Amino acid sequence: MPNLDELLSIKRRLKATEITTTLPSGEVKIEKRADDGTYKEVKDLESFESEPNVSNRRRKKVEYLQRRGFIVDLEPDLVVGVATEDVLFGSQDVAADILILRNQKITNIINVGTGIPNHFPENFQYLKIDILDLPETRIVDYFDEVFDYIKKVQEKRGKCFIHCNAGISRSASFAVGYLMKTQKMTYRQAFEKCRETRSIRPNSGFEKQLREYELELS
């Protein structure tokens, strides 16, 4: 049987133990073993202190990924894509930055992401449609509603900003589809026009629907 000195030596060689638990709400709870053998919840948000604009929801997701060894870019995506002079598009980061929205003279915001609140209802008019970024989602079924909304905004000399979460698939698909319908562009022409100002990549299902939309418009 080990004596006291041997037990202490073994204890010193033990590594700190952390337990990560994902709750049903999606929140990640991290507990660390204390010297007395009990487990206490720890807060490790140092990597976020320099990024005050990161949402709490995104913060928790990034924490979860970082704990599993992923490298996550927390730099806000503030690049604004331009479809036409009065129809812009981009990510949720721009939608949460009132200075950019004001500098761009935005009057109306079209929110087609999931889980993203309308941040400034007192400052802008909103159209909110929850759309999943999945190939099987029928994004073209929402085109008429969004394009009619844009037309009404233009009649009042307003300016629209379309956003989703990442700003590369859903909002870009609306921007591309809008150019196809109003500017008589092909899918490839509209895609390249939008890509001049912002990196875009509609998912495979959206691309297929946009190509079919081109045939429908021709």
pLDDT digits (tens, 9 = 90+) for 123-169: 999 999 999 999 999 999 999 999 999 999 999 999 999 999 999 99
Domain that holds residue 167: 81-217
Pair (108, 174) in one structural domain: yes
Q: Note the pLDDT of residue 75.
A: 76
Choice among 46-50, 63-67, 160-164 with the minimum mean pLDDT: 46-50
Pair (190, 109) in one structural domain: yes
Per-residue pLDDT at 11 exceeds 80: no
Q: Which residue has the higher pLDDT, 28 or 75?
A: 75
Pair (50, 145) in one structural domain: no
Comparing CA positions, the residue from 40, 20, 22 lying closest to residue 30 is 20
Q: Note the pLDDT of residue 82.
A: 98
Choice among 36-40, 79-83, 115-119, 124-128 with the minimum mean pLDDT: 36-40
Mean pLDDT, range 5-32, rounded to an integer? 60
Q: Note the pLDDT of residue 76.
A: 86
Pair (148, 190) in one structural domain: yes
Mean predicted lDDT score pLDDT of the chain: 84
Pair (46, 153) in one structural domain: no
Q: Note the pLDDT of residue 8.
A: 64
Q: Note the pLDDT of residue 51.
A: 45
Q: Note the pLDDT of residue 34.
A: 67
Q: Which residue has the higher pLDDT, 63 or 149?
A: 149
Q: Note the pLDDT of residue 50.
A: 43
Pair (27, 107) in one structural domain: no
Q: Which residue has the higher pLDDT, 26 or 195?
A: 195
Q: Would residue 2 count as lying in a domain? A: no
Pair (106, 207) in one structural domain: yes
Pair (40, 128) in one structural domain: no
Confidence of residue 48 (pLDDT cuts 50, 70, 90): very low
Q: Which residue has the higher pLDDT, 129 or 13?
A: 129
Confidence of residue 26 (pLDDT cuts 50, 70, 90): very low
Q: Note the pLDDT of residue 36.
A: 64
Number of domains in the chain: 2
Q: Would residue 76 count as lying in a domain? A: no
Q: Which residues are catalytic?
A: 164
Pair (123, 27) in one structural domain: no
Gap between the Cα atoms of 102 and 95, Å rounded: 11
Pair (53, 102) in one structural domain: no
Pair (199, 149) in one structural domain: yes
